[in-house]
Structures are given as C-alpha cells and as structure tokens.
C-alpha cells in the first residue's frame, strides 16, 4: 500500500524555522518526482516546490523562493522541506505528493498524496 | 487571485449532470499545457480525478470526464451522487510564472 506520511508541523513564531518530513513507503520512492503543495485554512491548493527523482533539480513558487529548501534522502525514502524566515501567510496544511507516472514534465499530475501536516505561524 | 479561474460553487440534484469550468490564459491552458483535475472530500487530501485533460486514472468512475478547448477546460460529472459532494480543483503549468498552478477550487453541493 502506498503511503506518504508528513510530520514536523506545529506552531512557530514569525521569522522562525521548521523542517517538514514526508516518509514514503509502498512504492519506489527514488524514481518519483515529488511536490510540496500547501492549503491555507479554508482556502485552495497552492504549489510550493518540486524536486526531481535524484534531488539534483528543484523548483519553487515565488512566494517561498529563497526561504524554503526542498530536498530528499532516497536511502531513507524521505522528502524534506526546510522552511526559514516563516511568515503568517505561510500558515497552511502542507502536503507532499508524488508525480503520476503517466505524466511528464511540465504536464505533471499528482496521484500520491500524504494526509498533510499543519504549520501555524503566529506570535 | 488564481491564474486559473473556477466558479466558487456549483450544485445539482442526484442523478443530474454538472460541469465545472477552469479558465486560463495563453501562458497556461492556451499554450497547450495539460489540465488535471482533483477531488478533495471534506477533511481529506486531494485525489487525482482526471489527468492529461481527459484521462481517468484506474479506479475513477466513468461518470467523471474532462475536456479542454482553447484557454479553458471543463470537468463534467454525470449521474450525480451524494458522495460527489466535495471541492474540485484544476491544475496546469504556467510558462510565464514557471510553475504549477491550481484553480481556486469549486465547491460542489449535491442538493
């Protein structure tokens, strides 16, 4: 059974840092391109970042560029999102998601999703 | 303001057909990039419903269909069922923003 389990969310003060993890199982993680997508409370989905299968290439939304770092450890089947200089507007549920193999760049769809982890940025 | 525009809400009675539109521009849908659709049931993660404009992943009922024309795409749901009540999102790549965009989402209410 395919599973993506996010962890690391919580309450952090503005300007603080947090590292999210996404543990993958049930599929060959090292061959999948992975995304982070976030959803503010009561709002829609927003793409945050994308990483290729070996971690050598990353992309970021303008809103997080320079503050967030997407990385992966294929030996540990784990995806990470290091979030620095956090702002109130970063408050959201963060999902990790895997690219559907039936699609290719840049027409990538996401078919494996975790349950999400909530990040709250507040003083 | 989303780059991809969806109606905030649609509704229909059980058994009816509803459509949800996703309007983009010449830098995303109009540029030929594929549109994907997701269903998000309350309190759960999104689920891929349609990929590549009109293809259904294994396990998605054929009541769900997608189409694309020009700078817009549509999701159609026929034989509406109570369990279809959810939020629906379109997604595509935008070349001017160099990133992947989601529509603002459409809440489907089954009357």
Share above pLDDT 90 across residues of chain B, in percent, rounded to a whole number: 97
Q: Tens digit of pLDDT for each residue in B2-17?
A: 789 999 999 999 999 9
A68 touches chain B (CB under 8 A): no
The Cα of B84 is separated from the nearest Cα of chain A by a number of Å equal to 18
* pLDDT tens for the 123 residues of chain A, in order: 999 999 999 999 999 999 999 999 999 999 999 999 999 999 999 999 999 999 999 999 999 999 999 999 999 999 999 999 999 999 999 999 999 888 988 999 999 999 999 999 999
Count CB pairs under 8 A between chains A and B: 73
Strands (E), A31-108: 34-39, 45-51, 58-60, 68-73, 78-83, 92-99
Contact A17, A10 (CB under 8 A): no
Q: Is A24 left (phi over 0), alpha (psi -120 to 50) or beta?
A: beta
B105 touching A (Cβ < 8 Å): yes
All residues of chain A having their beta carbon less than 8 Å from the beta carbon of residue B89 are 44-45
Residue of A57, A35, A58 whose CA lies nearest to A48:
A35
CA A7 to chain centre: 11
CA closest to B37 among chain A residues: A109
- B75-99 tens-digit pLDDT: 999 999 999 999 999 999 999 999 9
Q: Are A93 and A38 in contact (CB under 8 A)?
A: yes
Best A52, A92, A109, A113 member to test B by mutation, with max B CBs in 10 Å, is A109
């Amino acid at each position: 059974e395919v599973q993506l389990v996010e962890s690391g969310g919580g309450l952090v003060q503005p300007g603080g840092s947090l590292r999210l993890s996404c543990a993958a199982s049930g599929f060959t993680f090292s061959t999948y391109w992975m995304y982070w997508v976030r959803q503010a409370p009561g709002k829609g989905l927003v793409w945050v970042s994308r990483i290729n299968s070996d971690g050598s290439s990353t992309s970021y939304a303008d809103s997080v560029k320079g503050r967030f770092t997407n990385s992966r450890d294929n030996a540990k089947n784990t995806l990470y999102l290091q979030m620095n200089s956090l702002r109130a507007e970063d408050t959201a549920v963060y999902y990790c998601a895997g690219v559907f193999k039936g699609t290719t760049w840049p027409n990538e769809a996401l078919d494996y999703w975790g349950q999400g982890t909530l990040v709250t940025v507040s003083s | 303001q989303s780059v991809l525009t969806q109606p905030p809400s649609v509704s229909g009675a059980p058994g009816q057909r509803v459509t949800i539109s996703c309007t983009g521009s010449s830098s995303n849908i109009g540029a030929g990039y594929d549109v994907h659709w997701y269903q998000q049931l309350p309190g759960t993660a999104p689920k891929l419903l349609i990929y590549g404009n009109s293809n259904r992943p294994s396990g998605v009922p054929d009541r769900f269909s997608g189409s694309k024309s020009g700078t817009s795409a549509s999701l159609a749901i026929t034989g509406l069922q109570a369990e279809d009540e959810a939020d629906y999102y379109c997604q595509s790549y935008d070349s001017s923003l160099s990133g992947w965009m989601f529509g603002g989402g459409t809440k489907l209410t089954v009357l």
